[in-house]
Amino acid sequence: MKTSQPEVIGIASGKGGVGKTTVSVNLASSLAQLGKKVFLFDGDLGLANAQIALGLKSEFNISHVITGEKSLNEILIEGPKGITLIPGASGVKQMAALSEIETAGVVQVFSELRGDLDYLIIDMAAGISPSVLTLMEACHRRIIVVIDDPSSIADAYGAIKVITQQSDREDIYLVQNRVQENDRSDILFHRMNNVCMKFLNQSIFSLGAISEDEFLLEALRNKKTIQEFAPSSLAARDFKFLAEKVLSFEPLQQVEGGLEFFVERKN
Ligand SMILES: Nc1ncnc2c1ncn2[C@@H]1O[C@H](COP(=O)(O)OP(=O)(O)OP(=O)(O)O)[C@@H](O)[C@H]1O
Ligand SMILES: [Mg+2]
């Protein structure tokens, strides 16, 4: 049994529809393909995005764990390519509007996660609601997905700003999604990094880019990950690079007594 803590990675964007679920599912499957044990949590508690993307159905979900009806282990479902999904609460209306305290309950539930697990990836809901911020704050590392579009850039900056103001954690990583063949993704990263340094006194890190690739949509339609559906596609290559970068993160500092998800607030 592994005794070290799994690394918890939150994936957010501010703006909806820019690729959080795509990045979450395919990063998870690419890490699994590299031999890591990965759990994927559908943090989009209202709509259960990742669950739908993976074509999985479940009778029980995180809401049953919060109410104490089930243990976390009882709701896990095995997805493709070694990913284990922690289902969000699809269709459970009140879950969409979880309070900060209740979200903290979700985070607490994760402290049950021990043993043979390397990564927990959290696919966040769109926006920067208190529940998204609480979950993001509880992660060891935060990835912001952005596309080269003014409203996505503005929302990504907004998300980085509130995350930075809310906690002392400094590890915010940017992934640019839907990059066209001849685009240079480092331009947008440097622009955003400069703005963050100037106005937030905070630099961010680049995790590179994911190409615009219609195979991603096809893979989704076929309820498969890109690695399964089109292993030699541009997107499969990009996700492999992304997973390798994630693998090369500095090791987490070990915390006495196991998992420690909460970080201190600045206020
Ligand atoms: N790199 C890409 N190339 C082509 N299509 C993409 C790419 N990334 C995402 N898409 C498509 O864009 C759409 C939205 O992506 P996705 O569902 O991942 O976004 P999201 O940020 O999770 O959305 P929401 O905010 O609704 O949860 C999907 O149809 C997806 O297939
Ligand atoms: Mg989504």
- CATH number for the domain that contains residue 234: 3.40.50.300
Ligand 1: which atom is nearest the Cα of residue 15? 25
Indicate which residue's Cα is closest to atom 25 of ligand 1.
16
Indicate which atom in ligand 1 lies nearest the CA of residue 177: 1
Domain assignment present for residue 258? The answer is no
Give residue 85's domain range.
15-247
Give the closest residue (by CA) to ligand 1 atom 14.
Answer: 17
166 confidence band (pLDDT: 50, 70, 90): confident
Ligand 2 center to residue 257 CA distance, Å? 33
Ligand 1 atom closest to 44 (CA): 27
Each residue's pLDDT tens digit, 48-106? 577 777 777 788 888 788 778 888 888 898 887 678 888 887 554 444 555 666 666 77
- Any domain includes 263: no
* Cα separations in angstroms, 103 against 69, 143, 158, 267: 17, 19, 21, 19
Q: Is residue 131 part of a domain?
A: yes
Ligand 1 shell residues, CB under 6 Å: 13, 16-22, 44, 49, 126, 177-178, 210, 212-213, 216-217, 220, 235
| Residue 83 contacts residue 32 (beta carbons within 8 Å) | yes
Ligand 2 mean position, distance from CA 19 (Å): 7
Residue 114 lies in a domain: yes
Around ion ligand 2, residues with a beta carbon closer than 5 Å are: 20-21, 49
Q: Determine, yes or no, domain membership for 253.
A: no
Q: Which atom of ligand 1 is nearest to the CA of 126?
A: 25
CA-proximal residue: ligand 1, atom 9 (nearest):
19
pLDDT in tens, 98-138: 566 666 677 777 766 766 789 999 999 888 888 788 888 88
CA 152 – ligand 1 centroid, Å: 13
Quote the DSSP letter at residue 265.
B
> Is the confidence at residue 45, as pLDDT, over 70?
no
Residue 8 lies in a domain: no
Q: Are 133 and 166 in contact (CB under 8 A)?
A: yes
Note the pLDDT of residue 263: 36
Residue 154 covered by a domain = yes
User: Is 230 in a helix, a strand, or coil?
Assistant: coil
Q: Tell me the pTM.
A: 0.89
Question: What stretches of the chain show up as alpha helix (H) in DSSP?
Answer: 20-33, 49-53, 62-66, 72-75, 93-96, 100-110, 130-138, 150-166, 185-200, 214-221, 226-229, 234-247
Decide if pLDDT at 151 tops 80. Answer: yes
**Phi/psi zone of residue 113: left (φ > 0), alpha (ψ -120 to 50 degrees), beta?**
beta
Give the total number of structural domains in the chain. Answer: 1
The CA angle 124-55-43, to the nearest 5 degrees, is: 15
* Assigned domain for 186 exists: yes
- Measure 178 CA to ligand 1 centroid, in angstroms: 9
**Residue 162 CB contacts under 8 Å (≥ 6 apart), including other chains:** 128, 133
